[in-house]
Amino acid sequence: MGMSVVIERPPVDPSGRTGVLSNQLKRQRVYIFPTLQGWLYALMLVVMLLGAINYNNSMAYMLCFLLASLGLVCMIHTYRNLAGLILTSTTPKHVYPEQQALFPIQIDNRLSLARYSIQIESYETIKKLFRKRKPHHIVSVSVNAGKPSTSYYPVKTTRRGILMLERLKLSTNFPLGLFSAWAYFEPEFYCLVYPTPKGNKQLPQNVLQKENVDYGIQSGTDDFSGFRKYRHGDPVNSIAWKAFAREQGLLVKQFSGKGSQTLILSWDAVSYINNVESRLSQLCYWILLAEKSSIHYGLEIPDKKIDPGLGTHHKEQCLEALARYGQ
């Protein structure tokens, strides 16, 4: 008995930003086995049965069979505590090194029975069976009847790159701890770990002057020319909040100035740094600083070039390129 793999799998975006994976714990794929307490309980029943047979005591027979039936009922409840749950996972938010990546796991209980004391932990494969077991988190959750519950499985990050979540094991000893039921869930999603933003606190001086270009959202000494509708990725500080308060919708300020400054963050700009990870950390810091300063910036690293832009989507695109570099 174990976990179903009736999987509804829409295509996962290669960028790792979107996608949903749903698994249902079907009854024939939920495993169950007695715990140590369960074996001791069974041994006690055998000793009681032998005593009842030896003394031919009807009350001892009754007690023995009563406790045996209690164990069978406990086994059914332990098994039913996992069977039928629907697990859904999505891509977690991207993080920086030394932060915890929180992988969201939603447990949907569509039956009229509440589920209690379900433990979620990472499952180490057979290849790691004979290695020293590493400490890992155990998340405990209970799910009300007919309602979903979202839990976050934390994974500590140590370095830049792509962090894959190992297979998860869901287990329960409810209600008496005599049996342990478990199933497996493979989220198949990963978390991008950006480089640590550190280095020189000032932007490089290789600012290129773009003539006859109107980015439309630049602030500064340019003349105000009007509004336009908000587009995804526009900086928050360019939104006309007064117009929004007048219920005119989300509008963005436009300026008529030409020749906006554009910052090109290239691999040559950090050529004075010997360590590759330190170079990526410096570029990461400059990206965050340029975004905060509302300066249009582009990124040029080996095998990747991103045109100048501004906004949350552009920032994430640049940081993702740094996280994926060399992997």
Q: Based on the domain organization, do 172 and 255 belong to the same domain?
A: no
Query: Which structural domain range is residue 66 located in?
Result: 1-193
Q: Based on the domain organization, do 126 and 6 belong to the same domain?
A: yes
Considering its fold, how many domains does the chain have in total? 2
**Tens digit of each residue's pLDDT (9 = 90 or more) over 36-56:** 999 999 999 999 999 999 998
Give dist(CA 97, CA 154) in Å, integer: 13
DSSP 8-state assignment for residue 95: B
Give dist(CA 173, CA 81) in Å, integer: 9
Q: Is residue 189 part of a domain?
A: yes
Beta carbons of 117 and 171 less than 8 angstroms apart: no
pLDDT, averaged across the chain: 80
**Tens digit of each residue's pLDDT (9 = 90 or more) over 75-85:** 999 999 998 88
Q: Based on the domain organization, do 107 and 216 belong to the same domain?
A: no
Q: Based on the domain organization, do 183 and 217 belong to the same domain?
A: no
**Mean pLDDT calculated for residue range 63-81:** 94
**Tens digit of each residue's pLDDT (9 = 90 or more) over 84-112:** 888 888 888 999 998 999 999 889 888 88
